[in-house]
Structure 1
Amino acid sequence: MSILSVSLTIAIEEIQMALFYRISDKKRLEAKNEIFVKKGIPALKRQGFEQSPFSSSWFGRNNLNNFTYTMCRISSNSELEMITTHISRRDAWIQIFLNIFKLEPKLETLTELETRDGMQFSMPSDTEMRLRMDDYKGPPLFHGVRHKLKSFYTEKGFEESVQNLGELIKKDMENIDHFIKRWHELHRPMVTDWEGIICANKPTS
């Protein structure tokens, strides 16, 4: 490759870097985490959700140096509603999952679960619903608004993307009962004991 070609290649790369604003994976991770901490968690708390009482649940930075938050609420009919949020440095998503379990014997408050491990509640399940993904009908391509930072090419565009995602997270967490209603349209809660072990011969109504 000639000196002219090398110089031209370097010049093109410098122009691209000047034209298109880029951020590090670390900065993107921190921005998404700040969104959920400042917008999502307070909104969920206003809806009666609390930090998961289980000793196996994450609430902050996890063992992969990403972030995971698990929050719970007990419904009036002793159903354990669990919201688990995964925030990874590898992509632009804030992944929010909902799952619901029918507990037996009946549970009055989350504090009764504080001595439990709760690992079984975190196992992969067919009833787990990812918000703004699994609750839609049709291919993901047509799902519309999602919990994802939109593409940006400038610093201002990045800031607008963060602001828009924050507003969406706040709105959806304030309207979490809408997603819970949709979950019940798609699934029936598994009947488990307080450890998350499925109770045999206990069909849900």
Structure 2
Amino acid sequence: MRLLVVEDEVGLAETIRDGLATDGFTVDLVHTGVDGLWAAAERPYGAYDAIILDIMLPGLSGYEVCRRLREREVWTPVLMLTAKDGEYDQADALDLGADDYLTKPFSFVVLVARLRALIRRGAPQRPVVLSAGDLRLDPARRRVTRGDDEIAVTPREFALLEFLLRSAGDVLTKSAIMENVWDAAFDGGPNIVEVYIGYLRKKIDQPYGRTAIQTVRGVGYRLDPDGG
């Protein structure tokens, strides 16, 4: 089994490589995000069974490497190495298409177990593009489009629109939206949902004369499955 390790701490990278080699893996080692992207994307698909990718890399961050790989439809399993206690690092890594993560410092035994589990599962299938009429959301590429226009949205707006699209046609309460789009640590009130619904309407509806996001008074919101 061949792995790609992208890690800029040379000593750690060589330790990982030597340990994995002892466990029977063949390891290619690079130290920058640019080299990691090239190795993973330009070699024949399937050249690697998995990729170990650090977040903090020179040239391109691990986030950007992962995002670009998924954008190019390279679905090789990615295990990201994140900062200690970096829960936002972990959430961002998964949002951008990583399949698993480990926090530094980590147990080598756990690293090998996680890698074997990823390899057993194999490369994930490309996520399904969600749509309502000509409104489309691509989870893999993190893109939102209306017709031929690409629409720039924030990560929170993206998460909200994705939740609405996955439940298109259903009426969603503010509390359901809060539970699925905001994390448990958020201490603001439910009116934040109304604020972000307004942001989305200004981007995906109003410029196009549409009303895809509908208010159901006294209950919550509904996304028209026909796109408004």
Structure whose CA Rg is larger: 1
The interval holding the TM-score normalised by the smaller chain is: under 0.3
TM-score, normalised by the number of residues in structure 1: 0.24
Higher RCO, 1 vs 2 (CA within 8 Å, ≥6 residues apart): 1
